[in-house]
Amino acid sequence: MDSNELLNLCTYLAASAEGLKDEPKDYAPLRLLEVLSRLAESGAREYEDHFLESITVEIEAHQDLVMTDKEAFYKFIERLVIEFAQEAKRRAQTDKGA
């Protein structure tokens, strides 16, 4: 992530924080997913991380659910958390074995 991308992300976070006071509550997780996607995309590029690359694809495919199927949207977020936990465990085991 170069400094311009970082500035853009920080600007997005600041504007999101300000805007959320008047937006529906379901926008907060959507905005956090946007930040997660941007960070994952940057990490995927910088570190050639296939897991993070797959996360950006998943988020892109599911983020619109907040508008059409909120239950599926929140189940998707729950699944993301599980995927991250499983990946962290896998990496910790790999690091131990190295």
Answer for the pair 63, 34: CB distance below 8 angstroms, yes or no. Answer: yes
**pLDDT score at 98:** 63
Question: ∠78-33-28 over CA atoms, to 5°?
Answer: 90
Structural domain boundaries in the chain = 3-97
Q: What is the mean pLDDT of residues 6-29?
A: 91
Q: pTM here? A: 0.88
Q: Is the pLDDT of residue 1 over 90?
A: no
Alpha helices in 2-69 (DSSP H): 3-19, 27-47, 50-62, 65-68
Average pLDDT, the chain: 93
